[in-house]
Structures are given as structure tokens and as C-alpha cells.
Structure 1
Amino acid sequence: MIHMVRFNWPKYLVAAVLLVAAAALPWPWRLLAVPGAAGVAVSLAATWWVYDRSRLYEWRWALDLVPPPRRYAVISTGLDEISPALRGLLPDAEPTVLDCFDPVIMTEGSVRRARRLHPPPAGAVPAGVTALPVADGGQDAVFLAFAAHELRVPAQRAALFAEVARALRPGGHLVLVEHCRGAATVAAYGPGAWHFYPRREWLGLARGARLTLAGETTMTPLVRALVFRR
């Protein structure tokens, strides 16, 4: 949760200033601060629940959904939080970490701050979402966690899914982890939930890339892992 606050601190600062200003209003106008304070508290609690208290970053759940890969790729678009955990979980596998950060495409301030605070790991390979530097059919699995939604143009997301499908061997798996926008995310993050996409968006992209839904699980009602098979 602390990381998320650091990446998004301007938004929290603005919220804090507005809350202080509302609390300074004469009664009963100061009651306007109550829904704002509740919204910030709910957002922080949801973030803590997802990132600090759920099983998300253990990643053992993934091996309940896909066979342990011998070769796999991790794709990030600014912040790679998962490759160290996967290396520990799959010590005998051959990983490829693909860094798809592009400052022209990823213009969100939070992504840029995350990038400055957490540079890509040693050995990460610079990549483009329309041309992943991996061989056709060379990967048993591709892991894409909290990265695809940073591509705000539909054609970019479609190109990335097509590249993932090309990189996977027949029978290989894409493990996609995202906040899928729905009632729970709207309740937790308010307007911020529209930074994410609904489950049907990812299902449509997978169909377009000729990937088949093979399984899914949830880490709290806010985060969903979708597994697609080539």
C-alpha cells in the first residue's frame, strides 16, 4: 500500500487539501468532508487488502492454474513487481523479463514515478508492445500483471495480445492479472476505477488473439487472474 501511495501521492495530496478545506467550513457545510474522507479511507483499505494481505504476490496460486513452465516471459509496462517472486518459485525455469515501458505511450504520472523509484531489474530486455523480442512459440507461459491496462489505445492492447500469442508455444498459457472494473472496484476506487477495464475487455482481446480461457481465480473481489491457453 505504501508503494501505491508514493506512486499516486499528488492525488492523495489534493484529496487531503480538499478535506481540510471542507472541514474548515461552517456547520453544516463541513459535513461535505465526510464522504470525501470515507472515499479516501476505503481506497487505502482496499489497496492494503489487495497488495498487503491477499495471496496475490505469493504467486503459488498460479501453479494451481498452469503447469510449471520451463521457459516463461514476464511483461511489464513500467513496474516489474513479479519477476523476483517467480524466480524464487521456479528456480529451474528460464525467465525472460521484457520491459515494455515507453514514455510516449505510458503518460500516467503514477507510472513515471514508479519507474523512477523502481528501475527494471538487471537483465530486463527492452521491448515494444507491437514487437516482443522473443522467438515464435518459444514460451511455455507469459505473465502479464497490472501492465496491460496501461495501454490506453485499443490497438496497442490488441497488438500486445497478438504478440503474446505468437510467443507462446501451442498449449502455452498467458496469466493475466488485472483489476477488472465492476461494482467492487467502483465502490473501492470511485472514479479511479475507470483507469481499469472490465473482464469482457480482456476476454475480447484474447478471442482476437485466438487464445482460449482456461481458468481464472480472484484475489479479493478487486483483482482477478485470467488464464488463457494458446
Structure 2
Amino acid sequence: MEKIRKPFQGILNIIRFNWHFYVIAIVLIFSILFLTYFTNSTIKIILQIVSIIISITIFVSLSISYYVYDLSGFYKLEWIKNNDDNISIININAGFDETSELLKRKFVNSNFTALDFYNPNKHTEVSIKRARKIYPPYPNTKEIKTSKIDLESNSIDKVFVILSAHEIRNETERIVFFSELNRILKPKGQIVVIEHLRDISNFMAYNIGSFHFYSRASWLSTFKKSKLSVISEIKNTSFISTFTLEKNGNTL
């Protein structure tokens, strides 16, 4: 089978979509080092330490991102069980879809649909806009609203929400969204939610960037309020968690 993802694709995408952050960081580092030529020895040492800390932070973040998105095998999807055939599957993204083609190849005989809840008025991050310009949407992707998914109730066997649900920044909106997923899910269907968490591991990796994610407790609260039960929770890596949800499963 032809490989879909290229070597270094994950880390290169991060740099391409967020290049302004790295330009600012590099300018800041060189500015700090430049100032050391005009300060006394004590301040010079402090400035050098600050520049080193900034450099290490960037290096660690990019190294971990390279591990997660390129080396870990996450996008091979080997952790997804493919013991179902001829089932209805939807994959929901927030404007940037790296997984629909991979999922369709895994579930070849499925009735597969990609959905996109990207809203330019809400999702104003320049990184998403850059990603959408570079990567076209999966064929026949349908646009949806988080408050209303135009599908029949009890019609879907499996729902994937991979690294996208955290883009719904309002808690009430997230609950409404997952309640909609509950509505369209068949009685024995499953929802697979994959996210970085706001925890120690991700804080060490992404520093203040980890606050863009939500805590485990926050996700569990959202699922509970949406009348969904967590039947399993696994760590794909130390930095990514997968929750499998059902309408009437056993809670953790």
C-alpha cells in the first residue's frame, strides 16, 4: 500500500503553519544576545540564561512533536481495531483533516463520511487558515455546525473526533456538540475522541501552549453531561489520550 504520510510531515507542518512563532522566538533570542554586548557581567549572564531557556523550550517542543507525529506510529492507526465491516463511519475535523484518507483505507468497505465544523468567525487561528490553503479537504467533506449535525438519529456506527474537539472553546458548545454525537450514534455505536490533555507531560512539552488543551477532568465532565460513558481510555503516547465512548457503556 502506498504511504500517505511523508517523512517529517508532522514536524514540518507544525513549522509551516506556525512559522511566525518561530520567527518571533529567533528574533527575540538574537535581540537578547545582542543586548549582552552592552550590559555588565551579571545582567549579561541573566540574558544568556534567558536565551538558553527559550532555545531549549523550542527544541524540546519540536522534538516531542516530531516524536508524536512522525516517529510514534500514531498515524498508522494500528491502535484502532478493524473488526467491523460495512459500517457507517464519520470523521470530524476542525478545518484540517489528516486522518480521513487513513481511516478510509483502514475501513475499506465502510460507508465513510468526513465532516468539518470549521467556522472562520470562531476559529481565527492563522495556523488553521494556512493549513487549509496547503491541504485541500477530503473529497465530499460536508460542512456542519457544532450545534446541529444533519444526520438521522441512531444512524452512525462509529464516530472519530481526532485532535479537533478542543477547537470548540466554549464549554456549553462542547456539551451540545457531544450531545449531537450521542443523538446520531447507534445504540451499540462508539465515539473515539483523541486529544492532547492539559497535564504535566504536555506542559513540559509545549509550555504555555498546553493551555490550549483541556484537562482530563474537563473532558470527562463534558462526556458525562452529554450522557456518554467512557468505556476505555488509553495513552497512544505520553502526550495523547484516546477516549472510547458509548451511549450506555460502563464508566471508568
Shorter chain as normaliser: what TM range? over 0.9
The amino acid that maps onto 1:58 is K
Range 110-119 or range 126-135, more displaced: 110-119
Task: Give the SS at the match of 1:197.
Answer: coil
Change (3 A) 1:42 1:96: same
Paired-residue identity, %: 29
Kept after mapping to 2: 8 A contact 1:23/1:31: no
Q: Tell me how large the CA RMSD over aligned residues is.
A: 1.4
| Structure 1 match to 2:81 | 63
Aligned partner of residue 24 in structure 1, secondary structure: helix
- The 1:67/1:201 distance shift into structure 2, 3 A limit, reads farther
SS, match of residue 225 in structure 1: strand
Distance change (3 Å), C-alpha of 1:145 and 1:162: same
- The runs of 4+ residues in structure 1 deviating greater than 4 Å are 66-69
Give the TM-score normalised by structure 2.
0.87
Structure 1 equivalent of residue 59 of structure 2: 41
Shift of 1:35: 0.3
1:4 pairs with 2:21: no
* 1:84 CA displacement: 0.4
Counterpart residue type for residue 197 of structure 1? Y
Task: Confirm or deny that 1:109 pairs with 2:126.
Answer: yes
- Structure 2 contact 86–109 (Cα < 8 Å) conserved: no
2:188 equivalent to 1:171: yes
Counterpart Cα distance in 2 of 1:173 and 1:5: 34
What SS does the aligned partner of 2:80 have?
helix
Does the residue aligned with 1:227 lie in a helix, a strand or coil? strand
Distance 2:13 2:76 in 1: 17
CA distances 1:25-72 after superposition (whole Å, capped 9, x unpaired): 3232323211000000000011101100112111121217x8567111
> 1:31 maps to what in 2?
49
Moved more, 18-27 or 124-133: 18-27
String of CA shifts for 1:195-228, please: whole Å, max 9, x gaps. Answer: 0001111111111111111112112211111111
CA contact (8 A) 1:69 1:140 kept: no
Q: How does 1:143-158 map to 2 (within 5 A)?
A: 143-158=160-175
Q: Using the alignment, how far apart are the partners of 1:73 and 1:228 within structure 2?
A: 15
Equivalent pairs, count: 229
Moved more, 160-169 or 27-36: 27-36
Structure 2: distance between partners of 1:121 and 1:62: 20
Aligned pairs (5 A) from 1:79-118: 79-118=96-135
Kept in 2, the 8 Å contact 1:144–1:177? The answer is: yes
Unaligned runs of 5+ in 1: none
Return the TM-score normalized by structure 1. Answer: 0.95
CA contact (8 A) 2:93 2:161 kept: yes
Match of 1:123 in 2: 140
